[in-house]
């Protein structure tokens, strides 16, 4: 594309389309999680289904965590935060990531939106079902940061009734206590 107004418009249209397709993929993932959970729960019960799904999703997170490992091992929590924010899909449009707090032994990441939670709400899941699905899907974050060698505690989760954001508190092992 040559920079002419027509080609700029084509680029903008392609970007909008790409972002929509990315959002659609996340919404599809959310509904797949729900259907898998629902089938498992009918076979093995809600608690066992939750455990099985969290274990599987956690394993994927361990693989994702590799991209954070060097920064985490060097104790560079600011870099961990930068990788998180800069690597957010659709230039951050889907999750609206940010850094809530940062000091030498603690990083709190923030996400103010979630296409999975949006999909579950649109689909009509009850608040307690959304919270459970959010707990399951958050296992990817647990695995991601465990894979990087960091501890993670959710201070808040968007899927909880009344919540408007996720807050993920990360600490290096030496800072735990």
pLDDT value of position 151: 96
Read off the pLDDT band of 177 (50, 70, 90): low
Spatial distance between the Cα atoms of 13 and 108, rounded to a whole number of angstroms: 35
- In the chain, the percentage of residues whose pLDDT exceeds 90 is 82
Beta-carbon contacts of 155 under 8 Å, excluding residues fewer than 6 positions away, are 108, 167, 168, 169
E strand or H helix that includes residue 39? helix 5-44
Tens digits of residue pLDDT in 68-92:
999 999 999 999 999 999 999 888 8
- Token couple for 115: 């296409």
Read off the pLDDT band of 171 (50, 70, 90): very high
Spatial distance between the Cα atoms of 85 and 165, rounded to a whole number of angstroms: 15
pTM of the entire predicted model: 0.87
What's the first-to-final CA gap in the chain, in angstroms? 55
Per CATH, domain 5-175 is 3.40.640.10? no
- Token couple for 128: 């307690």
Delimit the domains of the chain by residue range. 5-175
Indicate the average pLDDT of the chain.
93
């Amino acid at each position: 594309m040559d920079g002419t107004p027509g080609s700029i418009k084509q680029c903008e249209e392609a970007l909008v389309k790409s972002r929509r397709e990315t959002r659609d993929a996340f919404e599809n993932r959310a509904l797949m999680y729900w259907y898998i959970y629902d089938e498992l729960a009918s076979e093995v019960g809600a608690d066992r289904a939750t455990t099985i799904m969290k274990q599987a999703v956690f394993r994927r997170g361990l693989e994702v965590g590799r991209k954070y490992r060097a920064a985490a091992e060097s104790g560079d929590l600011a870099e961990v935060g930068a990788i998180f924010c800069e690597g957010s899909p659709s230039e951050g449009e889907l999750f609206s990531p940010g850094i809530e707090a940062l000091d030498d032994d603690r990083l709190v990441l923030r996400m103010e939106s979630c296409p999975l939670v949006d999909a579950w709400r649109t689909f009509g899941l009850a608040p307690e079902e959304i919270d459970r699905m959010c707990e399951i899907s958050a296992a990817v974050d647990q695995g991601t940061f465990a894979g990087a060698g960091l501890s993670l505690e959710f201070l808040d989760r968007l899927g909880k009734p009344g919540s408007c954001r996720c807050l993920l508190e990360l600490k290096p092992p030496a800072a735990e206590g």
